[in-house]
Amino acid sequence: MIGAGVAGLTTAVCLAEAGLAVTVQAGQLPRQTTSAVAGAIWGPHLVENSDRVTRWCAETLEVLTTLATDPGTGVRLVSGTQAARAPHPRPDWAAPLRDLGPHDPASLPPGFVAGWRYTAPVVSMPVYLDYLAGRLSRAGGQLTAGPLDSLAQAVRQSTAPVIVNCTGAGARDFVPDPSVSPVRGQVVIAENPGITEFFIGVGDETHELCYVFPHQGRVVLGGTEIPGDWSLEPRPATARRILADCAGIDPRLGAAWILEHRVGLRPARPQVRLEAENADGDGPGTGRLVVHNYGHGGGGITLSWGCAREAARLVMSFR
């Protein structure tokens, strides 16, 4: 397996718990990945709108809801608001959330005119990635650090019958797959001044996306969505704008202690790539397989269990 973000670790857990011998190799270990930067809340975003995505989201919602009963996973069910500065249609994707309902416009933060309230899984990603890595290790899986030049090199160097490719935005060069591009997201991580509800202010022509995701002890504040930008360096002006926007949502954030600045690259692709192919491409087959699971855009956590289980089925159908 290649990649130790949420896609790689979840797929590895599915395979190892099914009894397969699994080794994950990754350029960045879990806490250094884009996955570790995410807010993160269940809800598809910057990903294809299709029946299969709806199915993967629903499957993942069920798993995350179960994991939320165990505090050690980093997953909790949190209530909150998605709001907009213009009339905002009922979000169709939120249909599986049983308590979805309109927000009283009079009690929205200044500038917002419409909103929806709901309860969804909110995931403290560093804790969750540690949980997945621990679960992989208990199932006998191995995790090793080290970048690989290309998929072709990985196929040549490995003797594994199946190689699973979960390289996120890295797939653009690694596969190579020019249809993958980054959507840069910068966040500010602050001490939580007592916030218990999430808030998402959707972006429009004049305002950037703005969000607050509370975790135990810290809050993740965002955000940005810059297509085609590969820079992993946090920008001070962007951080100042994020903090000002979030303080407009909850004034306590104006004085919150800043812990960290992080940047992640959402792996955008017109469609998620979840399929198996001959490891030798169009060449003479050696009977080995590559299974791809990447290109989840801004919804990699939201799709993670549905996609991982499908990728695992592709691997196991090959045995």
Structural contact between residues 151 and 175, judged by C-beta atoms closer than 8 angstroms: yes
Stretch 162-201: interaction string toward ligand FAD, x if CB under 6 A? ----xxxxx---x----------x-x--------------
| Residues 209/255/216/262 CA torsion (nearest 10 deg) | 50
CA separation for the pair 11, 304 (Å, rounded): 8
Binds ligand FAD (CB under 6 A): choice among 124, 181, 192, 302: 302
Q: Which of residues 118-147 bind ligand FAD (CB under 6 A)?
A: 147
Taking CB under 6 A as the rule, does residue 272 contact ligand FAD? Answer: no
Q: How far is the CB of 106 from ligand FAD (least distance, A)?
A: 28
40 sits near ligand FAD (criterion: CB under 6 A) = yes
Closest to ligand FAD by CB, 80 vs 185, is 185
- Select the span of 100-108, 240-248, 253-261, 289-297 touching ligand FAD (CB under 6 A): 289-297
5-13, 96-104, 231-239, 250-258 -> range binding ligand FAD (CB under 6 A): 5-13
Stretch that binds ligand FAD, among 37-45, 106-114, 253-261, 284-292 (CB under 6 A): 37-45
For residues 214 and 126, give the distance between their C-alpha atoms in angstroms, rounded to a whole number: 14
- d(CA 2, CA 9) in angstroms, rounded, equals 10
Among 223, 226, 269, 291, binds ligand FAD (CB under 6 A): 223
Give the binding site for ligand FAD (CB under 6 A): 2-8, 26-28, 33-35, 37-41, 147-148, 166-170, 174, 185, 187, 222-223, 264, 266-267, 294, 296-302
